[in-house]
Amino acid sequence: MSHLSERPEKPVVGVSMPHESAGLHVTGTALYTDDLVQRTKDVLHAYPVQVMKAHGRITALRTEPALAVPGVVRVLTVADVPGVNDAGMKHDEPLFPDEVMFFGHAVAWVLGETLEAARLGAAAVEVELDELPALVTVEEAIAAESFHGARPLMVTGDIDAGFADSAHVFTGEFSFSGQEHFYLETHAALAQVDENGQLFIQSSTQHPSETQEIVSHVLGVPAHEVTVQCLRMGGGFGGKEMQPHGFAAIAALGAKLTGRPVRFRLNRTQDLTMSGKRHGFHSTWKIGFDAEGRIQALDATLTADGGWSLDLSEPVLARALCHIDNTYWIPNARVAGRIAKTNTVSNTAFRGFGGPQGMLVIEDILGRCAPLLGLDPMELRERNFYQPGQGQTTPYGQPVTQADRIATVWQQVQNDAGIADRKREIAAFNAAHTDTKRALAITGIKFGISFNLTAFNQGGALVLIYKDGSVLINHGGTEMGQGLHTKMMQVAATTLGIPLHKVRLAPTRTDKVPNTSATAASSGADLNGGAIKNACEQLRERLLQVAATQLGANASDVRIVEGVAHALGSDKELAWDDLVHTAYFQRVQLSAAGYYRTEGLHWDAKSFRGSPFKYFAHGAAATEVEVDGFTGAYRIRRVDIVHDVGDSLSPMIDIGQVEGGFVQGAGWLTLEDLRWDTSDGPNRGRLQTQAASTYKLPSFSEMPEEFNVTLLENATEEGAVYGSKAVGEPPLMLAFSVREALRQAAAAFGPAGVSVDLACPATPEAVYWAVESVRLDHESRAGELPVGAIALSKV
Amino acid sequence: MVAARITVNGKETPISPATPHTTVLDFLRDRGLTGTKEGCAEGECGACSVLVARPGVNKPTDWVAVNACLVPVAALDGQEIVTSEGLATPGADGTPPTLHPVQEEMAVRGGSQCGYCTPGFVCSMASEYYRPDRCASAHADANGHADAEAHGDAEHGPNGFDLHSLSGNLCRCTGYRPIRDAAFAVGEPAADDPLAQRRDQPAPAPAATTYAQDDSVFLRPSTLAETLQVLRERPDAVVVAGSTDWGVEVNIRSRRANCVVAIDRLPELRELRVESDHLEIGAAVTLTEIERRLDGTVPLLAELFPQFASRLIRNSATFGGNLGTGSPIGDSPPVLLALEASLVLADADGERVVPLADYFTGYRQTVRRPGELIRAVRIPLPLAPVTAFHKIAKRRFDDISSVAIAFALDIEDGVVRKARIGLGGVAATPIRALATEAALEGKPWSAETVQAAADVLRAQGTPMSDHRASAIYRSAMLGQSLKKLYAQTSEAVSS
């Protein structure tokens, strides 16, 4: 067992406990960024001037009418920017644009004494536009060859030989939607200036260091003049990894120029129309199978809808390519990636970060091809799993070292869910019902953990022990509900050997831990946990020396367990508080900076090869659905999940991540329906689902009626803190089982062997058309289907 | 006149300096009660849920959860509300508070992750916790006497907790399982629980309110006569009951009115009477009250209510409001059309009765004249024996219909004697499917009749394609709904 993964006696990690802020959450006393406004005097409110056209050059911007509105204090425009007019890391995202690039693009911001005054001021700003043609969909961008950023190509083996060896070759095309994050707390920031004009910004951000970086370059000041703090977020899901920066810069700029605190908080429609989403993708593919259904070759092109600026589209696309294999051994592959440049919001990180999109393509292919191969979809998937002990690598060259886990979780979920019996029950039910069909599908996941970009795989912490024995920890990660802070307190208490109540956690601030990475890529606990453990180990070593002297023992024979130091083989004890007190008087430093870097990673983005991931997280889900053949409406009857989180740091929190990720993934795949105005009318490019009333998230009605989540046991991960594995993103992709179950239920309305094309999201309407295609097929009236209803064709 | 004030968590607070358009949500947050959150500002997410003391169905007072983002604070002049902060018992001298039982269950079971939606869930859950007949119905269920709804399905807990009470609350983090576990774990309120005891005292009486600022005024007249006089004098007045529609207009479309008139507590609009030949439901009785007071006696309404928006909305929404907006996609018009309802319209000169089938004249246009108010809805008795409400939407709880179809059929000896079918979402107004009704009446209730009538029904209306559904799906669903009804009735006959 590695030093990193080994747990001491009576660890606090591994203990099931509620979120550290649960008591504050339920009483409404937990503070979020915008709650601070009431505690701050003389706050100005910032409101965006959005232009409601998809594309056009600004020919005039008149702010005078706004200044005439009572209560309007100032209008921020490009002329006010002392530094760089840029809100992104790619220098393609002007904070104040001279060209409107998407419907709802903010071109100026109004500061008002009240929100109402700022709103009325924004409405009074006059913008004239030279309208330009707009590309709204990824298909339009492909046709116009409108792309930006890198064009990665992932190649392994020899696809020509692979196709030549294939008994069956199929081709297809598949487009699928993006997803709105819909964190319940919209984007918000509050900026204040101190006595030297230095900035203090409270921001709902997953990436305080980058918010700091953007604010300092917009203001043209060094980073040490800008401090960013994040108390907690009301959800992030990737939507606050890069998108908060420009907004925070507006608040900071306003505060700098007026000397007053400036607050902004997007309302829901602004948030939906101004901020980026999960990338929708278009894909074309050709796949070859041998006679037994084993994949021989895959040739695919994935086009991500990047929106108007690059943002994080390149790494998202890279992760999509790196996950098209999912749990399957693909000996010969050629996968190309491109990023469509469209006149829509700039799409960004979202839980899974391209991984779900890559995996959806292969799961869709297998779901469509299984009937054509005459195989049960479960059987087809199982036959293609990576096999242990064969030295198999991913298409980008990383060895799959825990291939056995793919089969382990797959087998366990079948046992737990009683699959064999239930398949019989479902067959009987379907035989007895003509208008209602049930189906059960199992899908698995293999998800790479670490940022693809190696440099991001580092974390920092600052741990302070006060004279009274109380401990304050700081780290670079942000809390967005995922329970990171709870886990970090458990890690600190475990390493120091003290009870949890001795440890308090301070809000994330850039002046405590510098140059942090985004809390993203599921890496929060790995990186920050490693750093906290490192800081606490330094402190523990110093304290063990002190204790050894006091106990008359060798330091290496002293243990601190549950707040008491004792020497092995001796009854003598020293309480933690006394130990700390003694250490102080012996002038032992009681603070330490911790640091962690993930070892053993390498990645060459140009050749698209390397081992970018420290390890893979695994899981499998079995989902049963029931479809109403009259309407296409459906219910999730039961879900069983076995998921690999290594040895859990905090089981209740991990189970919460698995359940929440699954339901969020099911939302993406079945319910959440981003619709843009693609007509040539005046509202071309407008997001039509721009409110909670039109963009529907899963509610209680989408929760599986029976929902069983099991964490894989004895799953120690040698390469991560206390043997745990990352959990934030992987479970989202377990929801493929919902989509595949819906496909199979639709198929059950017709004869065996029919390939079912299912739109994504699989709304009730989409399921209805899938059912209809099967029924029509059954009645040999396929000619009546709309063109394109069956995209799949055998070559 | 007493200055407008509201009791928040037991403390009386002046409403000033809020404006007549200030919502309860903004009012609370401006006073530092930031536990109440804005997630959507249109009554969809429930993060702003708070408890209001209202006249009860089974006790003098109910603790009713409402969306604070939709209600103007002036509408609660003289009323009592409780927020998530007020549910906990404060600790002495800065010590942590004692959590309320629903807060305790939510906390220990992992019901909160990011915590932003949590105060709203807690308030909705507390409302159901204090529902007087909650535990009683669970008890009855155990003895086999309960209504079918409480029959131990996935939507009802062993403690009688109705999961629909949380249908208006969205959580993006948890996937809901731990929240359901918390809801199904809460027990009965303790005897000394002050909010439980409060239920035995009368709810605050409505206060006659004139809350003016600049050129805008919020009015709550005391009587119907006074209200109708105001409406005659102020043709620009916006009438609100639960404000579930107007609140959205204010927040999302930034509409402002010079004069808002509240009618939700007018006694003349709050009656629910069963006469020999009709049922009369006051236009300002909330849907939750109708649901509980009718208690399943109008099966088509009982089928409608769980599908009508969310519990949070039904706690405020009224038939008067749903019909008053004239929306083509409201869920009550198809049902009321199938029930052959009429509206009692009142103005300062008197009343008239208009069949609902004649009420709608165009997109959001009706025969209601300026100064006229819907006083009541009349449903003729006896009711048709075979009824069904089919709502086609993306989401099962709390969604807007793509298509809504209500059936009321009188089938005698296997023959359709009378058919009434109301449709929503397929035309500029809610409509009756007259051609389909004719295709059914006098025919045997058979697969052949249904097939032919379904073809007629599929062609009714002029549905559009939009972000909710395509036109061809909407049309298809019309025909499918009749076939589904037939399948359901034949199943019922055969079993």
Dump pLDDT digits (tens) for A344-363. Answer: 999 999 999 999 999 999 99
Q: Two tokens at A551?
A: 């106990």
pLDDT at B153: 73
Average pLDDT rounded to a whole number, residues B345-359: 97
- Shortest distance, CA B41 to any CA of chain A (angstroms): 8
Flag if A184 and B37 touch (Cβ within 8 Å): yes
pLDDT at A793: 36
Quick check: A794 pLDDT over 60? no
Dump pLDDT digits (tens) for A530-560. Answer: 999 999 999 999 999 999 999 999 999 999 9
pLDDT at B495: 40
Alpha-helical (H) ranges within A433-506 are 484-496
Nearest Cβ partner for B473 among A19, A661, A768 = A768
pLDDT at A98: 97
Spell out which residues of chain B touch residue A19, defining contact as CB-CB under 8 Å.
110, 112-113, 115
- Rounded CA-CA distance B257/B215 in Å is 9
- Shortest distance, CA A657 to any CA of chain B (angstroms): 7
Share of chain B above pLDDT 70, in %: 95
Contact between B249 and A691 (Cβ < 8 Å): no
Quick check: B34 pLDDT over 90? yes
pLDDT at B147: 45
Quick check: B493 pLDDT over 80? no
pLDDT at A218: 98
Q: Is the CB of B101 inside 8 Å of chain A's CB atoms?
A: no
Nearest Cβ partner for A694 among B122, B396, B467 = B467
Partners of residue A442 on adjacent β-strands? A622
What single letter denotes the amino acid at residue A234? G
Which of A510-514, A791-795, B120-124, B469-473 comes out lowest in average pLDDT?
A791-795
Nearest Cβ partner for B85 among A28, A31, A236 = A28
Neighbours of B196 (CB within 10 A): 17
pLDDT at B145: 43
Neighbours of B495 (CB within 10 A): 5
Q: Is the CB of A372 inside 8 Å of chain B's CB atoms?
A: no
Dump pLDDT digits (tens) for B472-490. Answer: 999 999 999 999 999 999 8
Which strand (E) or helix (H) includes residue A609?
Answer: strand A609-611
A383: Cβ contacts below 8 Å, ≥ 6 apart = A292, A293, A294, A375
Question: How many contacts, defined by CB atoms under 8 Å, are there between A and B?
Answer: 243
Dump pLDDT digits (tens) for A77-108. Answer: 999 999 999 999 899 999 999 999 999 999 99
Nearest to A269 by CA among A120, A50, A89, A448: A50
Nearest Cβ partner for B116 among A23, A234, A707 = A234
pLDDT at A782: 45
Flag if A184 and B180 touch (Cβ within 8 Å): no
Q: Is the CB of A40 inside 8 Å of chain B's CB atoms?
A: no
Catalytic residue positions of A, numbered: 729
Neighbours of A108 (CB within 10 A): 25
Which of B148-162, B327-341, B343-357 comes out lowest in average pLDDT?
B148-162
pLDDT at A592: 98
Spell out which residues of chain B touch residue A21, defining contact as CB-CB under 8 Å.
112, 115
Q: Is the CB of A701 inside 8 Å of chain B's CB atoms?
A: yes
- Rounded CA-CA distance A44/A8 in Å is 52
- Rounded CA-CA distance A376/A386 in Å is 19
pLDDT at A792: 39
- Shortest distance, CA B228 to any CA of chain A (angstroms): 32
**Tokens 């009645």 map to which residue?**
A779
pTM of the shown model: 0.96
Flag if B114 and A234 touch (Cβ within 8 Å): yes
Cα-based distances in Å from A239 to A342, A347, A708, B70: 19, 9, 29, 27
- Rounded CA-CA distance A571/A554 in Å is 15
**Average of per-residue pLDDT values in chain A:** 96
A35, A184, A230, A640: best mutation site toward chain B, by most B Cβ within 10 Å?
A184
The whole-angstrom distance between residue A661's C-alpha and the CA centroid of its chain comes to 9
Instruction: Domain B269-380: give its CATH code.
Output: 3.30.465.10
Cα-based distances in Å from A223 to A199, A213, A216, A354, A507: 10, 6, 5, 31, 19
Spell out which residues of chain A touch residue B395, defining contact as CB-CB under 8 Å.
671, 696, 698-699, 701-702
Q: Is the CB of A630 inside 8 Å of chain B's CB atoms?
A: yes
Share of chain A above pLDDT 70, in %: 97
**Average of per-residue pLDDT values in chain B:** 94
A452: Cβ contacts below 8 Å, ≥ 6 apart = A315, A318, A319, A322, A603, A605, A612
Spell out which residues of chain A touch residue B30, defining contact as CB-CB under 8 Å.
38
Give residue limits of the domains in chain B: 1-206, 269-380, 386-494
- Nearest C-alpha in B relative to A676: B467
Quick check: A786 pLDDT over 90? no
Q: Is the CB of A119 inside 8 Å of chain B's CB atoms?
A: yes
Q: Is the CB of B113 inside 8 Å of chain A's CB atoms?
A: yes
Backbone angles phi, psi at A559, to 5 degrees: -125, 145
The whole-angstrom distance between residue B322's C-alpha and the CA centroid of its chain comes to 9
pLDDT at B141: 44
Average pLDDT rounded to a whole number, residues A420-429: 98
Nearest Cβ partner for A184 among B31, B97, B172 = B172
Nearest to B314 by CA among B124, B132, B182: B124
Q: Is the CB of B183 inside 8 Å of chain A's CB atoms?
A: no
Q: Which CATH class is domain B386-494?
A: alpha beta
Report all structural domains of chain A as residue ranges with CATH numbers, in order of start. Answer: 44-132+187-265 (3.90.1170.50), 281-397+404-452+605-781 (3.30.365.10), 458-597 (3.30.365.10)
Q: Is the CB of B398 inside 8 Å of chain A's CB atoms?
A: yes
Neighbours of A545 (CB within 10 A): 15
Q: Two tokens at A73?
A: 């204090």
- Nearest C-alpha in B relative to A675: B467
Q: Is A187 helix (H, G, I), strand (E, B) or coil?
A: coil
- Shortest distance, CA B279 to any CA of chain A (angstroms): 32
Contact between A244 and A208 (Cβ < 8 Å): no
- Nearest C-alpha in A relative to B480: A630
Flag if A19 and B39 touch (Cβ within 8 Å): no
pLDDT at A2: 78
Average pLDDT rounded to a whole number, residues A294-311: 98
Q: Is the CB of A677 inside 8 Å of chain B's CB atoms?
A: no
pLDDT at B93: 85
- Shortest distance, CA B388 to any CA of chain A (angstroms): 15
Q: Is the CB of B471 inside 8 Å of chain A's CB atoms?
A: no
Residues 349-368 of B with CB under 8 A from A: none
pLDDT at B152: 55
Backbone angles phi, psi at B208, to 5 degrees: -65, 125
Contact between A21 and A27 (Cβ < 8 Å): no
Angle between helices B118-129 and B101-108 (to 10 degrees): 130
pLDDT at A778: 62
- Shortest distance, CA B56 to any CA of chain A (angstroms): 26
Contact between A318 and A396 (Cβ < 8 Å): no
- Rounded CA-CA distance A356/A321 in Å is 10
Cα-based distances in Å from B207 to A264, B78, B225: 36, 6, 16
Dump pLDDT digits (tens) for A477-536. Answer: 999 999 999 999 999 999 999 999 999 999 999 999 999 999 999 999 999 999 999 999
- Rounded CA-CA distance B272/B378 in Å is 10
pLDDT at A790: 39
Q: Is A748 helix (H, G, I), strand (E, B) or coil?
A: coil
Q: Is A139 helix (H, G, I), strand (E, B) or coil?
A: helix
Flag if A435 and B487 touch (Cβ within 8 Å): yes
Q: Which CATH class is domain B1-206?
A: alpha beta
Nearest Cβ partner for A25 among B118, B392, B468 = B118
Which strand (E) or helix (H) includes residue A334?
Answer: strand A332-341
pLDDT at B114: 98
